[in-house]
Structures are given as structure tokens and as C-alpha cells.
Chain A
Amino acid sequence: MPLEVLPQIDEAGADQEFLYTLNFGPQHPATHTTLRLILTLDGETIVKAVPDIGYLHSGFEKLGEDLDFNQYVTIVDRMNYISPFANEVSWHHAVEKLIGIELTPRCKYLRTILAELARISDHLLCVGAAALDLGALTAFLYAFNEREKVYNIMESAAGQRFHPSFTRVGGLMNDIGGDVVDQIRNFIRTFPKAHADVVRLLNRNRIFVDRTKGIGVLSKADAINTGCSGPVARASGVVRDLRKDEPYLAYPDLQGAFKVVCATGGDCYSRYLVRMEEMIESLNIIKAAVENLPAGPVNVALNDKLTIPDKTATYRSIEGLIQHFELFMWNRQWEPPVEEVYGATETANGELGFYVVSDGHGRAWRARTRPPSFIHFAVFPMLMEGHQISDVPAILGSLNIIAAELDR
């Protein structure tokens, strides 16, 4: 048949008879959480991908206007539940910026160490699950073995494995003991071997490389234009890391301990490599922070009337008792200025920020989250077009979409 007789494809192609629609999710093993994609397919090639989200929407931000600054930390935990401690740090970073609290050095270091452990845990899940979706089960098992150790550290420090709810306004729920430091030291010693195992399993794995290299390419200009941050943006060559650009917590002291990992490929493989290297940088931060862990109190001074006093002070002193009640009675609590601030930290997925509006009470008037998963998932249709249906898990896995953070 001569070429001009063959039907021509429109640019959109939506009304072409040979296209068909495939619902991907909301329950599908490769989405890992509940999100839905409506794919328009030409054979196995994706012509158009329309995400449909909101399945996990549970009104977190509405709850943020009802719960006080300390209570909301339990909700924040459940946003990106892969690295909950990083969310807590981000939330209280914004609240402390609003109230104007300068943390104690020990608290800064402890938050930094645990947030970096959370980053490692998040990257391990992302890399492990991405490899699992592409058929590499062993790397997933190695990664999850290490995540278990991070959970153990969180459990020893905060008493909870998954949702530690460990930060409080002006400090932490409690100080950590020497056993936690030993566990962290142990993790620093054993993690490089597990990391090297994953690297050896995946970095030059023919199948893994073939399925990720050149897939889902995001250019630097697009990454900036669409608002990408974190490893997704850095894999596209955007040199931006809040730990360097706007150092918070103990990062000003630890600038020499880590580098910003960047790549220029912008594809799934680059994002994988950036995450793998970031784990090593995080480990360097933890190493430097643990060796320089300052002594002293973990909470700001009791006289500032900002932190919950410990039980001894509550039961044995009248000031402690009064302050305890002051912080728990709904008509008292903190007295922040009638202002609004934006506080952001670099979490594993990217810039997690909170825009907190205050009307002068202990509850936020508005607790807006800047969710990196939401912003990265908006890029997904653009990355997907023209790829095969088997590339969906590769791209989804490389973006690390956490539906609880996506929908909030």
C-alpha cells in the first residue's frame, strides 16, 4: 500500500479508532499506593497519560487548623510515611520560625542525624521498590534489611517504629540514650557494605540499565519550570539543595561533611544514581554529626515557656506544673505573632515546606504543605508520553510518589 493512502495520525490522536484506554490503578502493584492513571494507548505506546488522584485525601490540612502545633506532628508523620521524621523536622522548623525559637545545639544535631537516617530509609525504599518493579527482587531485600535497622533506631529513640512523632515545639519528646548512639554507630559501620551490595546488583545490571536509561527524561529547563526539587531536579542538573542553600539545624556546621549530588541525564537511571550517592553523603553527615554530638539540654529553657516540661518538673515543681497546663489548655498555649511564615527543609523527596499562617493562637490558621510528591506527579504525564506501558513502573518508581503525601 502506498504511504499516502495509510491513515495519518493527528497530533493529539484522541479520536483515532485504534487507540484504546487502559485504567492503571487505583489498585495496582506497581503504583504501590492508591493512585490512578488513565492511559491512552496506541498498541503498547502511551499517547496520553492522565493521572487521577485524590483517593487518599483525608483532609490533613483541615486537621492542621484544628490541632495544635504539637498535636499536628502526628498527622505530619503520615504524609510521607516512608521518612516520617523528616516531615516532623520540617513542620516544627516552620513553627519554630514562626514563634522565633532558637534550638539547643544538641537538639539541632539530633534532629539532623535522625532526619538523615530518614532520608537513607526513604531512598532505600525508593531504590528497592523501583528495582522490584523492574524484576530485581534481591536489591529490594538488601534495601529493606537496612531500613529495618533505621526503624530499630527510631524505636529506641522515640518508642515508635513507623510514626515516631518525636519532635516537639522547641525540642524533642525526650533525649536519646547512649544505646541509640551505639546503634547509629553500628549502622554507620554496616551500611556501606549493604549499599555496595545494591550498587553491585543494579548499577551495571543489563536489564535494570536497559529499562531505566533514557526513560522518562526530564530536561533542566522543564525541571525548573514544573517546580521539581530534590533528587528529581538534581538528576536533571538543577544544583539546588536546601541543606546547602538555606542551611538549617546543624547543617551550617556540617557544610564540609557532604556534597550535593547532581547528574545531567535527567532519566530514571540518573535519578537512581543520585539517590544512591545521596545515601553515602547522608551517611557522611551522620558520621560527622554523631562524632560532634554536643552535650547539654535537648529542649530550650523551661523559662521560655515554650516546651512541655518533663515529668519530674511537672510533678515536683509548681512552675513545671503550671507550664504543663499552660501548654495543654486550649485557651492558653503558645502566643505566636499574628504573622505568616514559610519554612522548608530538604527531605528525601525534595523541598518539603509548610506555609503557616497564625492568628496568635496555639493552632495554625492555615497549615499549607508544599508536597514534593504532588508536584513531581504533575510532571508524570509529560515524562510518560511516547514511552511503552512497561516504562510506567520504571518512571513511577524513579519519582517516588507517596500517595499519602500526594493527596494529604
Chain B
Amino acid sequence: MAAYLDTLTARFPGAFTTSEFRGDRRVIVAADKAPAVLLGLLRCLKEECGFDFLCDVAGVDYLNYPGAADRYGVVYALTNTTTGGRVFVKAFANDPDPVLPSAVPLWQGADWLEREVYDMYGVRFDGHPDLRRILMPSEFTAYPLRKDYPLRGLGERHNFPTITRAES
């Protein structure tokens, strides 16, 4: 077992599970533990285990996914720039109010990545300095990458306000 997992187990006993597939090591934090644990766990990985590079923040909707217990997963892909090692921290959140602590205090790069997850899945990030929609227009109400959002949309665009030349 990798040294960083020992550190994590000592620091956060029982807070996470791990799994591995084709060399990708995952640290999984369930929805009931994530709000309390996630930020400390990421900080421990960054400051004590050398995972100083936040590579990506990916949202996943596990609605009706085989064997899934929680709905929204947010995957923090971390890299150690010295050794090149990678670890994937997957934290879950659930309806009706999916919320996770923001990683912006640790990595400035998390700012836009978390905004995109919020924009696409509606997962809020507590402590994010500027949590607005980033890719969709600000008047958009749905979260388009959720699994219950249809591919062809719900027709929101028809309700967008039209700006005429006289008003502009």
C-alpha cells in the first residue's frame, strides 16, 4: 500500500474507502462523510503527501448507475509533480441539496473547474468565492449534464428574453 494511504488512514480512520483499476488509485468519500472530511483530506494529500497539482475536477451523475449508492460524484484528480504519481479523490453528494466543500482555498485552479461542475450538475461548493454559471447562460435554470436531463433539452431557450434593437 502506498505511503500516502497510510497517512490518510491514520488521519481519517473510517472516512473513506479505496479502490484501484488499471493503476488508477481512488479514494472514495461517501455522501454522509464528504462535507466534513473532504477539505481536510485534500489538504492532507496536498501538504503532507506531495499531491500539489490539481489536474481536474470531474462531475459524474450516478443516477441509476449499476451499484451506485449516492447520486453525484465529484472526482478530484490529483498529481504529484515530483514523483508523477496520481490519486483520484471521489466525493459524493445527494439531492435535495448537493453540497461539498470547495477546494479553492487549496488550489486556485479549482475555481473554474468547480464552477463548471456547479453549472452542469448543480453541486454547490461551500466556500467558493464566485460560484456562478460558467458555460451556460446565467438565466438557464436546469443542469444539463444530469442524467434526467434529456439530450435534446427541455426548451429553455424558447423562454429566454429577446432583446430588441430599441431596448439594447
**B60 within 8 Å of A (CB atoms):** yes
Contact B84 A246 (CB under 8 A): yes
* A353-B56 contact in complex given A238-B81, A365-B65, A407-B135, C-beta closer than 8 Å: yes
Contact A342 B52 (CB under 8 A): no
Instruction: Tell me how far the C-beta of B168 lies from the nearest C-beta in chain A, rounded to whole angstroms.
Output: 13
**B165 within 8 Å of A (CB atoms):** no
Contact A62 B151 (CB under 8 A): yes
Contact B135 A57 (CB under 8 A): yes
Chain B residue with Cβ nearest A339: B21
**A13 within 8 Å of B (CB atoms):** no
- Which residues of A sit under 8 angstroms from B36, Cβ to Cβ? none
Which of B1-9, B10-18, B37-45, B105-113 touches A?
A: B105-113
Instruction: Tell me how far the C-beta of B53 lies from the nearest C-beta in chain A, rounded to whole angstroms.
Output: 6
Instruction: Tell me how far the C-beta of A209 lies from the nearest C-beta in chain B, rounded to whole angstroms.
Output: 30
Q: Which of B52, B60, B144, B151 contacts A365 (CB 8 A)?
A: B60
Q: Which of A353, A368, A407 contacts B59 (CB 8 A)?
A: A368
- Which residues of A sit under 8 angstroms from B21, Cβ to Cβ? 337, 339-341
Interchain CA distance A226-B52 in the complex, whole Å: 10
**A225 within 8 Å of B (CB atoms):** yes
- Which residues of B sit under 8 angstroms from A201, Cβ to Cβ? none
Number of interface residues of A (CB under 8 A): 46
- Which residues of B sit under 8 angstroms from A360, Cβ to Cβ? 66
Contact B60 A366 (CB under 8 A): yes
| Chain B contacts to A: CB under 8 angstroms | 21-22, 24, 52-56, 58-61, 65-67, 75, 77, 81, 84, 86, 88, 107-109, 111-113, 116, 120, 133-137, 144-145, 151
- Which residues of A sit under 8 angstroms from B136, Cβ to Cβ? 54, 57
Interchain CA distance A382-B59 in the complex, whole Å: 26
Contact A341 B24 (CB under 8 A): yes
Contact A224 B53 (CB under 8 A): yes
* A351-B112 contact in complex given A59-B144, A61-B145, A245-B84, C-beta closer than 8 Å: no
Contact A375 B77 (CB under 8 A): no
Interchain CA distance A226-B54 in the complex, whole Å: 8
* A366-B61 contact in complex given A224-B53, A245-B84, A378-B109, C-beta closer than 8 Å: yes
User: Which 5 pairs show the lowest CB-CB distances between chains A and B?
Assistant: A227-B109, A368-B58, A370-B56, A378-B112, A226-B109
